[in-house]
Amino acid sequence: MVVSPEQQQFLDLIKETEFSRGGASGGGVPGLKPFIEGTVPEEFKTFYSKEELHALSELKGTSRDIEDRMKVKLTEHYLKLALRSESLKNLVKARPEETADLAGEMDPSNQNKYSPIPGLLHKYEMVLLYTAATCSSHCRYCYRLDLFSKKTGKEMANIDDVAAYIVAHNKKVAQHNGKDPETGEDIFPIVEGLLSGGDPMVLPNKRIARFLMGLANAGLRTIRIGSKEMAFFPYRFDQNFFDMLDGFHALFPDVRLLLITHFTHPDEFLEKDEKGNYIPEGKGYKWLNVVRTAIGNLSDRHRYISMENQTPIIYKVNDNPTSLRILQKEMYHAGIGNHYLFQCREIEGHKAFAVPVETSWAIYTESQKGLSGVEKQARFVMSTEIGKMEVIGLTHGNVIFKLMRSPGGAQTQGHIIIAKSNPDALWITGYQDRIVSDDTGLFKEILNPVKFEVKK
């Protein structure tokens, strides 16, 4: 990466903190083994019961091996929170049901179709970069299974290649006045980048800075950082990280940053009393100090960074309106926008986590009762292969979907699909024989995707 002397000086001044997220390596408790062998600290030995560990051990080495689907990983911070919360336990705890039915996709929404170079997805007017192949804990419902298990051969992004791709694409858009020279369809310049993974916040500050700088030098105006670290290990948001952000902002004052948080349940950030109730404070509830401080430090930098939250609705984790109502209310009042509530993706093993689409929609709708207009900005969507599809609602036995985004361009944005209700449907495929209206045949595209080869 070619950098100016000022940019090199910024990189040279970045400081790193040595974090210990738990486990022997300090990166978090890795795998089931420490639980099975009883080498986790005493306070965590009750996390799995003897019966649960026995059932999971029995599956080791069989076609139903839980860790063959996805490795277990946990920070000690999250373990402590999960010990006082059934919901959080269900988010990170391995269960035999995960591999009881492995129906689903290794690469849900056929993401690889939108990958022009390794480690990069180009959708809409933005690019997504795979920056890390892990998170500091693993959500069992994770839709990046393939990245973690390395079964689809996905690679991490090389920032030089990504920057060159953005520059070349934007040059093409300008040269052809926003029309694809081959198809004549609208094409849009890339204006946003998303650092994703895995979780970019497991990387050192300097690596994150290089990604930010590469994207900014390529001309992007907005850069998102997608991270669940505020829930898994909020200590990561320390002064060295904020200094790096401030240094980046000084060099690129026109670039807006956006932290996309992934709070799934209020138990991830609220204090509880000895009876397990949230503690009233002011007009809301008392937050965990470490999270409140980290969010406050980011809010203080609102001139160049903002925050939005998004999460899927997951069985036995947050599939209740009260938790989601508190989540949305507390997010808004902490200065974090409510962006999306998602339907659980059709990953391999999704039947252990997914709530039927129409039930999720009802939970989402119920959760927003009593919220003000600004508190209830979240929309309930499915990330399908043809773009983000909002579930608008149910009427007269029909479900109405609206295409919010179309990955290749804006041609189909706003398109409506109507299907007959199927209360058991876990994904869009559950409506395949029930389409009432689909003017431009989008549904056919979802049901007959172009597949790529999965490495075994």
Shortest distance in whole angstroms from residue 146 CB to ligand SF4 = 11
- Min dist CB 138 to ligand SF4, Å, is 5
Of 144 and 379, nearer to ligand SF4 (C-beta) is 144
CA 113 to chain centre: 19
User: For ligand SF4, which is the closer residue by CB, 198 or 266?
Assistant: 198
Query: Which of the ranges 19-27, 100-108, 138-146, 314-322 carries the binding residues for ligand SF4, by CB under 6 A?
Result: 138-146
Q: Which has the closest alpha carbon to 138: 197, 186, 193? A: 197
| Token output for 423 | 């209360």
**C-alpha to C-alpha distance for 415 and 443, rounded to whole angstroms:** 11
- Got the DSSP string for 276-304? SPBPEETTEEPBPHHHHHHHHHHHTTTTT
Closer residue to ligand SF4 (CB): 144 or 350: 144
From the CB of 214, what's the least distance to ligand SF4, in Å? 22
Q: Within 13 A of 210's CA, how many CA atoms are on the CB side? A: 14
Q: Which of 173, 169, 221, 171 is nearest to 193 (CA)?
A: 221
Cβ contact 419:394 at 8 Å: no
Q: Which of 51, 144, 136, 135 is nearest to 95 (CA)?
A: 51
Q: At its nearest, how many Å lie between ligand SF4 and the CB of residue 441?
A: 31
199 binds ligand SF4 per the rule CB under 6 A = yes
Q: Taking the complex as a whole, how short is the minimal distance between the CB of residue 136 and ligand SF4, in angstroms?
A: 8
User: What six digits make up the tokens of 296?
Assistant: 């406050």
Q: CB under 6 A: which stretch of 136-144, 274-282, 301-309, 433-441 binds ligand SF4? A: 136-144
Minimum distance, C-beta of residue 353 to ligand SF4, in the bound complex (Å): 11
From the list 81, 135, 194, 442, which residue makes contact with ligand SF4 (rule: CB under 6 A)? 135
For residue 222, the minimal CB distance to ligand SF4 (Å) is: 20
In terms of CB distance, is 252 or 353 closer to ligand SF4? 353
In this structure, the chain runs to a length of: 456
Q: What is d(CA 340, CA 420) in angstroms, rounded to the nearest whole number?
A: 24
Does an H or E element contain 387, and which? strand 387-395
Which range, of 5-13, 133-141, 180-188, 328-336, touches ligand SF4 by CB under 6 A?
133-141
56, 74, 142, 298: residue in contact with ligand SF4 (rule CB under 6 A): 142
- The correct pick among 198, 247, 349, 387 for binding ligand SF4 (CB under 6 A) is 198
Question: Least distance from C-beta 314 to ligand SF4, angstroms?
Answer: 10
Give the nearer residue to ligand SF4 in terms of CB position, either 196 or 368: 196
Q: Does 89 bind ligand SF4 (CB under 6 A)?
A: no
Comparing CB distances to ligand SF4, the nearer of 214 and 312 is 312
Total number of residues that touch ligand SF4 (CB under 6 A)? 9
Residue pair 207/176 in contact by the 8 Å Cβ criterion: no
Beta strand 126-130 with 435-437: parallel, antiparallel or unpaired?
Answer: unpaired
Nearer to ligand SF4, 104 or 198 (CB): 198
Asked whether position 262 contacts ligand SF4 by CB under 6 A, the answer is: yes
Q: Is 224 in the site for ligand SF4 (CB under 6 A)?
A: no
Q: Give the residue with the Cβ less far from ligand SF4, 130 or 332.
A: 130
State which amino acid sits at residue 446.
Answer: I
| Tally of CB atoms within 10 A around 55 | 15
E strands of 242-386, at which residues? 256-261, 280-281, 284-285, 305-313, 336-343, 379-384
Nearest-approach distance from CB 265 to ligand SF4, in angstroms: 13
Task: Tell me: cis bond preceding 198? Omega within 30 of 0 counts.
Answer: yes
Which residue in 69, 138, 350, 415 binds ligand SF4 (CB under 6 A)?
A: 138
Question: Does residue 157 belong to the site contacting ligand SF4 (CB under 6 A)?
Answer: no
Q: Which of 77, 93, 95, 144 binds ligand SF4 (CB under 6 A)?
A: 144
The distance of closest approach from Cβ of residue 403 to ligand SF4 in the complex, given in angstroms and rounded to an integer, is: 24
CA dist., res. 451 & res. 433, Å (int): 21
66: helix, strand or coil: helix
Judged by CB under 6 A, the residue of 228, 249, 325, 379 near ligand SF4 is 228
Q: Report yes or no: 270 and 276 within 8 Å, Cβ to Cβ.
A: no
Residue with Cβ nearer ligand SF4 (169 or 228): 228
Crossing angle of helices 5-13 and 205-217, in 10° steps, is 160
Q: Which residues bind ligand SF4 (CB under 6 A)?
A: 135, 138-139, 142, 144, 198-199, 228, 262
